[in-house]
Structure 1
Amino acid sequence: MNQKQNTCIILFAKFPAEGKAKTRLQPALGVEGSAQMARKLLLHSIEQALATDFSVELCVSPAPSHLCWQTLDLPKSLLWSAQADGDLGKRMLSASQNALDNFEKVLLIGSDCPDLTTERIQGAAKQLIEQDSVIVPAFDGGYVLLGFKKAEASLFSNMTWSVSDVAAVTEQRIKDLNWSLAMLEPLPDIDEPEDLQYLPVGWLDDYKVVAYNG
């Protein structure tokens, strides 16, 4: 079994619709600029994931059949799935369980972290050769990548998302499962105006930043 069959990256994404995407960036980038940034982050994340040569599944809302996705002209090699009903935990658990029917390892990522490069994703996958799980924490206390070889409901259920202890709670739950864990270097998510300082060089050149003092 080669690497591409062995590992599946599941990238969770919502369509970068104007007025609905990256709304917390609107004080700095405006409504249109925030949607453009969401699109840029998504396309970058897809590009980095596909360059790993692993299988990449885009788990999306709205469903893949929605015409909006055709406007992004995404690579044909992507696998597609619709996000399940329920909170983020239920959606991640469902997608993970489905993927593990066909793959030995799953890496869950989002599209908020441009520093989650091809090399870092490959490095996380490599940890799963020896470890049961791997986390790339986020600066804000969440995580930008979670990888494992089994999907346990306890990793996702009764979790308060978008708070500062998500990674720590997940780490404790992994310990409760008696799994080994590789905890890698934290990386920044791009969610708030103060996070714009972490964007790659040049990413803001085409934007009029209206309220950013980083």
Structure 2
Amino acid sequence: MAAVDLSVTVTLAIFAASLVLPKACGNSDGDALSSLRRSLSDPDKVLESWDPNLVTPCTWFHVTCNKDSRVTRLDLGNSNLSGHLVPELGKLEHLEYLELYRNNIQGSIPSELGKLKKLISLDLYNNNISGKIPPSLGNLKSLVFLRLNDNQLTGPIPRTLASVSSLKVVDVSNNNLCGPIPTTGSFEHVPLHNFENNPRLEGPELQGLASYDTNCS
């Protein structure tokens, strides 16, 4: 009987400890950033402080959180990182600034970034990102800065971006985009040099143009 009582006591003690000890990546933001870290090569060890055993990522270098311990900034520009972006970034629902410029990031822009409804700045310029600009970025109704220049992007400039009224700065120069340049909505005042060095762009779209050239891909 005493052995049974001891077993029950040990089980209860382990259960109680599990309630108070930190859990690895205790929130979705930590999980998302840990996924990003696993996808990146980090020769300069700028992500060395990203310990997945902490309850939140708020003490990690290059990460800023709000008072509720939700990630609002990711500052990893010019950090000699390579690898690719991950769809889990779309889970950072309080993220306002995603700064990954001047690295060697490859692959495509995940369409899941269109879920970042509070995003103000998306800076992915000076990488080796390829594929198309996701039309889902048109869902970013708080976006002010979109800098995708100096990559290997293809396809058209999504017309969905023209409806983002907050968008003030757009730079997609030095890519391989195609089709016409939008001129309505948020694109009305974007200078043409922010589209330069895209040999397949056809120039400003004609007013009333209903769709892109179907050969643009």
TM-score of the superposed pair, with normalisation by structure 1: 0.26
Normalized per residue, which structure has more helix?
Answer: 1
Q: Work out which structure has the larger RCO, using CA pairs closer than 8 Å and 6 or more positions apart in sequence.
A: 1
Larger Rg: 2
